[in-house]
Every structure is written in structure tokens, then in C-alpha cells.
Copies of this chain bind each other. A is one copy, B any other.
Amino acid sequence: MGNIRSDIAWSTADRIVVRGKNFTDEILGKLNLGDFAWLQLTGTMPTPQQSTVFNAIIVALVEHGMTPSVIVARMTYSCAPEALQSAVAAGLCGLGNNVVGSMEGAARYLTEALPKDAPADTELESLAVQIVARFRKDKTPIPGLGHVVHTQLDPRTTRLFTIAEENGFSGRYVRLLQLVHAEAQRATGKQMPINATGVIGALSCELGFPWKITRGFGVMARAIGLVGHLLEESTQPISREVWSRTEHESSSHLRPGAAAS
């Protein structure tokens, strides 16, 4: 028989231990939520610098306006008010390849091009050229670049780069992302900003996380954002209106009397 083993937590009648710390004495009332999230994920306490950068990237992912994920959660809640948890769950199901995927995608190409143990003298410029060439060959967009609304400059990008710089996390992955950006603009002849998901992908690498978990940052953060939207939906609902407009319009061409179309 194989093992069933987890190293995260255990408890007895009078003690709860998480990641080796006594939960009530060392964590509760002492760690803020972001710092405890770091401990939960990494098994270590964050340094003040790790804390600042990690809290910033998760905070950056909490609230992105009236996204599909939010609309989904609100509509689900209006139909199943007995199960707020499932409304959040439904919303999170939409955090897929076309949403948080770009964060994961950026972290992935940065990590694959530049493994943690890559020699110190690795030439980043040529890696950037290779990365851009590969995406162009596959005719797929480069994750982390471009934005529908923030077409010139994603305002979060500059701020996140500054936070990383101030805390000693503006290292090779940040540099490589910037080189990919420059090369992409050169190769395509088009202006496009580095977007927030790009920076977060790079900072996730700087902090030492594997690329596969990056998507989870969006999930953790957005769960908070969705609860905020459900609280608003409970007093200021939009679901019924979105439903009735969509339903009416979607089948109007089929109803008797509809103009042929």
C-alpha cells in the first residue's frame, strides 16, 4: 500500500499545529492573512520583503470589476441562495486558460527558459529572442503582454515593478520578462504593455514558486473578490436583469412574428 501523508497540519484535543507552528500562540492574531497564506504554501515564515511582494501580487488579483467570473457567481447565488459556497465555486470555475492562464503562461515560459539553477552568466537577451520566436511561430499571443483596456500601459505593472525593486525581488525573471517585451515590440512593430499578469508571473518566479501553482494565486484572490460581490448582490442584485435581457434577446428571432433573419 502506498502512503497517505501530508505535512501541513495536525491537531490533538488541546493543540493545533500548522506548518510546525503552534497555531494559537504563534499565528492567530499575529499573522495577517497574506503572510499566513505564504506560510501555508511554502512552510516558512515570510521575510518582510517577501511579505510585501507576496501580499501585493495576491491583492492585485482580488478585484477586476464585473468579469464573467463575477457575473457567474452572482447569477448562481440568485438561483441557489442556500449555498453561497457553490456560487463562489461556480465563479472560480471560470478562472481558466483565457483568464488566469496568462499568469501561468508567463511563469511557465520564464521558468522553462531559465531554470532556478541556470548559470549566473546565462544570456537573457537570446532567451528572450527564442521565446518570442516560438510564440510567433505558433501564432499564439505571448502571455503577459497586451491588455484590452490598458492599451498603452497597465498601471499595475509599473507599481508592481517598483514594489519588487524596493524589496530586492527585481531579479533575472523580471529582467527576462522586460527583454521579452522589448523583443516582442521590435519583432511585431507594435506597441503593447506588459500587463499585470505578466509581472505577477515573473514575481512568482522570483519568489520561488513553481509555475503550476501560479494559477492558484488568482483563485485564492478572486475567492475574496467574489464574496464581496455576493454581499453586494444580496442587497443590490443584477442577476435577474441580466437573465431576463439575455433570455429575451437570445430567442427573439425564433418567436412568432419575428422578422425573418
Q: Give the B-binding residues of A (Cβ under 8 A).
A: 1-18, 23-25, 27-29, 31-37, 40-41, 51-52, 55-56, 58-60, 62-69, 71-72, 75-76, 78-100, 149-153, 155-156, 158-160, 162-163, 210, 212-213, 215-221, 223-225, 227-232, 234, 236, 238-243, 245-247, 249-251, 253-256
Q: Is the CB of A251 within 8 A of B85?
A: no
29 contacts between A and B (CB under 8 A): A2-B240, A4-B238, A4-B241, A5-B253, A6-B238, A9-B251, A14-B153, A24-B155, A24-B156, A25-B159, A33-B58, A33-B59, A33-B221, A37-B228, A40-B228, A41-B228, A41-B231, A67-B243, A68-B243, A79-B96, A80-B98, A80-B99, A81-B98, A84-B216, A84-B219, A85-B95, A85-B100, A210-B231, A213-B227
Known contacts A85-B95, A251-B9; decide if A246 and B4 are in contact (CB<8 Å): yes
Whether the pair A219, B229 counts as a contact (CB closer than 8 A) is no
Nearest B residue to A254, CB-CB: B10
Whether the Cβ atoms of A242 and B242 lie closer than 8 Å is: yes
Determine how close the nearest CB of chain B comes to the CB of A165; give it in whole angstroms: 11
When the two chains form their complex, are residues B256 and A234 in contact, meaning their CB atoms are under 8 A apart? no
- Number of copies of this kind of chain in the complex: 4
Residues in chain B near residue A24, CB distance under 8 A: 155-156, 158-159
By a CB distance below 8 angstroms, the chain B residues around A255 are 10, 12
CB-defined contacts of A151 to chain B, threshold 8 Å: 13
Looking at chain A's contact residues, the main secondary structure is helix
CB-based contact A75/B72 at 8 Å: yes
**A14-B150, A81-B98, A238-B3 are known contacts. Are A66 and B227 too (CB-CB below 8 A)?**
no
Which residues in B have their C-beta under 8 angstroms from that of A163? 28-29
State how many angstroms separate the Cβ of A249 from the closest Cβ of chain B.
5
Inter-chain contact B35/A32, CB cutoff 8 Å = yes
Cα distance A4–B66 in the bound complex, in angstroms: 10
Of the listed residues A14, A15, A88, A210, the one surrounded by the most CB atoms of chain B closer than 10 A to its CB is A88
By a CB distance below 8 angstroms, the chain B residues around A225 are 40
